[in-house]
Amino acid sequence: MAAGARARMERLLAAPVSFRDDDGSVDPDVDEALAVPGLPRHRYLDAVWTVLAGSRLLVPVQAHGRPGGPARVTVGRDAVDPPARRRDVPGEQARATDPCQDAATLAVRAPDGRRALPVFTSAEAMRAWRRDVRPVPVTARRAAQVAAAVADMLWALDPGTRDLCLPRPALLALSEGREWVPSWRNDVVQAQIRARLESVEAVRSVSFEPGTRAELRVLVGVEGGGARRTEVQAAGEARDSHGETSEDRARRAVRDCQQLLGSPEWGHLVDTVELYPLPA
């Protein structure tokens, strides 16, 4: 990790916080929002973010050095080996004086392979995850800033019990102290994505809805694609001057859309996308 990021992390965790009387229990409002059953994923994330934005969270740091090398850390079934301890500083001293190294070492793998900062709603949830760490109470905004310094702008909220990952734009908004407008109801974000996708040949329409597993579902109407495949084949497919059928053009259009949506430039606007090609 770069020296600048380490220094930033140290400042974030060393800054004074107003949690002197914190007993480590979960905020009742947070607990209630997380426990609401049956909500669609997008409504659940909306509600959870709203409550978390004004809450206290706990960030883990190592209580002491671990002889014999670093241990594996898991979120669900995924695991990551923490970076090796600095060789020029004894383990006990490194853990006591370098909270940035602690946080980087304790970062975990999200299901999609990205690095996430483990954060907790209560000391009990942290103990259920690991007993060799101690809790540092921070505001949710500071926890989001820590995630930016040591992880891929992701949280794993209560790993081992809830394993909840909020979309990256939600944490970016939180770290900057502004409101998060999710991509599924963000007209500005949707307009930018629509403009790019409608420039792809054979794309005739672009619409949006909340994703089921991803943050956003993008429905792309493609000429000659989707359910039209059987009709076109039955009629005998005509080929253009380049030897392409309408189905070939539709497949190419879908590939071009996937490439555009996979561009890193969208990372601060939308985290994950489901692309659904439909017949135009």
Is 30 in contact with 122 (CB distance < 8 Å)?
no
Kindly list the domain boundaries of the chain, sorted by start residue: 3-175, 183-279
Number of helices (H), then strands (E), in the chain: 11, 10
Share above pLDDT 70 across residues of the chain, in percent, rounded to a whole number: 72
Q: How far apart are CA 35 and CA 158, in angstroms?
A: 13
Rama region for 192: left / alpha / beta (φ>0; ψ in -120 to 50; rest) = alpha
Better pLDDT: 159 or 246: 159
* pLDDT for the residue numbered 249: 85
Q: Is the pLDDT of residue 225 over 80?
A: no
Q: Which CATH class is domain 183-279?
A: alpha beta
- Of the listed ranges 9-18, 81-90, 237-246, 247-256, the least confidently predicted one is 81-90
Q: Is the pLDDT of residue 94 over 70?
A: no
Q: Is the pLDDT of residue 108 over 50?
A: yes
- The mean pLDDT value of the chain amounts to 78
* pLDDT tens per residue, range 16-45: 556 777 889 999 999 999 999 889 999 999
- Counted residue by residue, the chain has a size of 280
Q: How far apart are CA 35 and CA 44, in angstroms?
A: 10
Q: How far apart are CA 272 and CA 266, in angstroms?
A: 9
* Positive or negative: CA dihedral 18, 64, 12, 83: negative
- Using only C-alpha atoms, the chain has a radius of gyration, in whole angstroms, of 23
Q: Is the pLDDT of residue 67 over 80?
A: no
Collapsing DSSP to helix, strand or coil, 279 comes out as: strand
* pLDDT tens per residue, range 118-171: 999 999 999 999 999 999 898 999 899 888 887 888 999 999 999 999 999 999
* pLDDT for the residue numbered 230: 28
